[in-house]
Chains A and B, each alone.
Chain A
Amino acid sequence: TQLLEQSPQFLSIQEGENLTVYCNSSSVFSSLQWYRQEPGEGPVLLVTVVTGGEVKKLKRLTFQFGDARKDSSLHITAAQTGDTGLYLCAGDISNFGNEKLTFGTGTRLTIIP
């Protein structure tokens, strides 16, 4: 059973459009992270959210952590071809700080020029 469900699984949009990716769980997370992974490489951290309701912005990317700390969203404004990649959310459900991350199912984003 996948603890973190991402939607959509695949998304292909035109350059300049906006999009939102969702990460949902029935578990509460002490923290949640978003990563982007390019083919043949390891994931690269984009952001960490810790507080319920927290909103963080990274240039054209806006990340939100749900009030109950069970879900998160990533919104990209005016998508660019460089945004293409696999987006992964990941969270620590242990609340014991044992550093184990559970990864979401992933969203493969393709931006069409």
Chain B
Amino acid sequence: GAVVSQHPSRVICKSGTSVKIECRSLDFQATTMFWYRQFPKQSLMLMATSNEGSKATYEQGVEKDKFLINHASLTLSTLTVTSAHPEDSSFYICSARAGGGDNSPLHFGNGTRLTVT
């Protein structure tokens, strides 16, 4: 079945540094990928929609200069958390839809737990 891989699974960084998270579709092409963040004991909140070859679309309240998204190929989207602060510590999850249509399955990566110290 379709697989979405995220890397790294865990990362600890110091405040003020930047962290890049990769999301790959391993056996299918994804023109669109989605990035979510999830705080402990809470649900997933959509941050942005990553579009291959064009700018990402950010949800209201998400700083595009803080969370840089690059979708340079049909199988890779990256999320860079710039100048990270402790409040950016969270579980970041990407997803991609295999196949066309809004009823086709949405496959999720296993997430990246970011801890900013």
Interface residues of A (CB under 8 A from B): 2, 30-31, 33, 35, 40-45, 48, 50, 88, 90, 92, 97-106, 108
Q: B-side binding surface: helix, strand, loop or mixed?
A: strand
- 21 interchain pairs, CB-CB under 8 A: A2-B43, A40-B111, A42-B4, A42-B93, A42-B108, A42-B110, A43-B44, A43-B108, A45-B105, A48-B103, A88-B43, A88-B44, A98-B49, A99-B34, A100-B34, A101-B34, A101-B46, A102-B46, A103-B43, A103-B44, A103-B45
A98 to B6, CA, bound (A): 23
- The residues of B that contact A48 with a CB separation of less than 8 Å are 103, 105
Indicate if the CB atoms of A44 and B108 lie closer than 8 Å: yes
Residues of chain B lying within 8 A (CB to CB) of residue A33? 106
B residues neighboring A (CB under 8 Å): 4, 6, 32, 34, 36, 41-46, 49, 91, 93, 95, 97, 101-103, 105-111, 113
